[in-house]
Amino acid sequence: QGKNELGDVRIVDLDADSEFRFEVDFKAQVQIKLLKGTAEIFGTELATGVDYTFSGRKAAVYTWHEYTANETPMSSYLNTHLAIQQLRTLARSSNELGPRVLVIGPHDVGKTSLCKIMASYAFRQGEKPLYVSLDTAEGSITMPGAVTATAISHLIDIEEGFGSSATTAASMGSTTMPLAYYYGYESPSENVKMYNLVVSRLASTANSRLAADADSRASGIIIDTPGLIDQVGYELIWHAVQEFSVNVVVVLGHERLYSDMMKKYKDQAGITVVKLNKSGGVVERDKQFRTQLQRTKIKEYFYGTPKCELSPYSMLVNFNDINIWRVGEVIAPSSALPIGMENMDSETKLVKVDSFDMCLHSVMAILDADDSEDEGNLLNSSVVGFIYISDVNDEKKKMTILSPSPGRLPRRHVLMGAFKWMET
Ligand code: ADP
């Protein structure tokens, strides 16, 4: 049963292996209730008789029953999960690291949805896989601009997806806080070197967490990726495969990408490449929707969601008590420089921000680094939380920041990226 904010109620009868797809605008609200039978949204089962509320979402309610028709690719997704599940069982019996699954494909083919489905199915079988998001445009786990890893230790929320940024904010500083590294831009192609650096850092920490966690080890890793499949995109894929020791590459909805992956990996022992079809239900999201999604994520980080509201703390910080860094400009392509001079470093070299005006309305990552940390080492630091600069007062040499937790800034080194946001 679906109900919109005008109170219009619609009852939908779902055949086996079919889905009810819906799109809700950011300004609108829709409620969905399962009246009878069983159904799921991206792998998480709906409870009967409960109202689920959606806003700014595109999704599908799916039902299995005994399926006969093949109207959706869900049975191929289930089979892929079952094959991966076998690898987990095998890994568990020999006390080894479970499967490392990388999902790749162009933008808007359902990569994130497939990762959610696979993570939910794994969870429903008692697994606790590590979920990694390398998609910096989306911020599905903490904030846009971050790469993250989080253990799937509870059901993925029907309404909010992966622990919304709000629950992340609430867990700031605690051990349930997802592991995050900050890149700060939407597209990896804006600074490939820096992007790869944060991915390497994330992989290395995630790998050692997994090695130390007997519960998660055999469950392995599920990795969602940005939708780049050009030359740069390929390099990012090779890099991720290497850093996470990926052994299952799932190619979603792209024939040529699949054959290129086959070419690259067919002779490489231990790497399996799988091809899956895109679901007919996947919706393309235009630039405007993406931007709106990013804004919502940023807002939720500080103010929470209707289900879990937060009130952020506003505090005054002296210019002297905070070190704001950003990554240096790429001055010129190497080919335009005199022989022997390289500017490669500037792509991962931090510059201290001393014009505080440019910080106004920026979102920044607080780095887990000591005050005395060497600046060359700062980019190796993970993120303890995010702040928002709501006001800058040059005369008083102070700025006002918004933070989900009270008290002083937990650390003084913060990293600025390109994300700005206006409170409305
Ligand atoms: P990608 O990660 O490849 O960019 P997503 O998984 O984010 O793609 O899917 C794009 C959009 O389509 C999302 O808003 C998602 O919720 C929606 N979507 C995915 N699968 C379905 C489906 N079967 N029915 C309806 N909407 C869907």
Q: What's the longest Cα–Cα distance across the chain?
A: 72
Write the single-letter amino acid at 420.
K
Q: Which residues are annotated as a binding site?
A: 19, 58, 108-113
The finding on whether 18 has its CB within 6 A of some atom of ligand 1 is no
How far does residue 283's CA lie from ligand 1's centre (Å)?
Answer: 6
**Which tokens sit at 388?**
């928002």
Q: Can you state the percent helix, strand and coil of the chain, rounding each to 5?
A: 30, 30, 40
29-62, pLDDT tens digit by residue? 899 999 988 899 998 889 888 899 998 888 888 8
Question: Of all atoms in ligand 1, which is nearest to the CA of residue 72?
Answer: 23
- pTM of the model as a whole: 0.87
Q: Per mean pLDDT, which of 11-20, 359-368, 370-379 is the most reliable?
A: 359-368
* Interval 18-25 mean pLDDT: 89
Q: 400-404: long-range contacts at Cβ-Cβ below 8 A with a sequence spacing of 24 or more?
A: 400/314, 400/315, 400/316, 400/317, 401/314, 401/315, 401/317, 402/302, 402/312, 402/313, 402/314, 403/312, 403/313, 403/315, 404/169, 404/170, 404/172, 404/301, 404/302, 404/310, 404/312, 404/313
Question: Of all atoms in ligand 1, which is nearest to the CA of residue 106?
Answer: 3
Question: Cα separations (Å) of 21 from 33, 42, 62, 98, 186?
Answer: 14, 11, 8, 33, 28
The finding on whether 225 has its CB within 6 A of some atom of ligand 1 is no
Average pLDDT along the chain: 88
| Strand (E) or helix (H) holding 238 | helix 231-243
What HEC string does 316-361 produce?
Answer: EEEHHHCEEEEECCCCCCHHHCCCCCCCHHHHHCEEECCCHHHHCC
106-143, pLDDT tens digit by residue? 999 999 999 999 999 999 999 999 999 999 998 778 89
How far does residue 22's CA lie from ligand 1's centre (Å)?
Answer: 11
Give the model's pLDDT for residue 175.
46
Question: Of all atoms in ligand 1, which is nearest to the CA of residue 105?
Answer: 3
199-225, pLDDT tens digit by residue? 999 999 999 999 898 878 999 999 999
246-284, pLDDT tens digit by residue? 999 999 999 999 999 999 998 888 999 999 999 988 988
The finding on whether 112 has its CB within 6 A of some atom of ligand 1 is yes
How far does residue 281's CA lie from ligand 1's centre (Å)?
Answer: 7
Would you say residue 331 has pLDDT above 70? no
How far does residue 58's CA lie from ligand 1's centre (Å)?
Answer: 7
The finding on whether 143 has its CB within 6 A of some atom of ligand 1 is no
* Interval 157-174 mean pLDDT: 59
Which residue did the predictor score with more confidence, 155 or 120?
A: 120
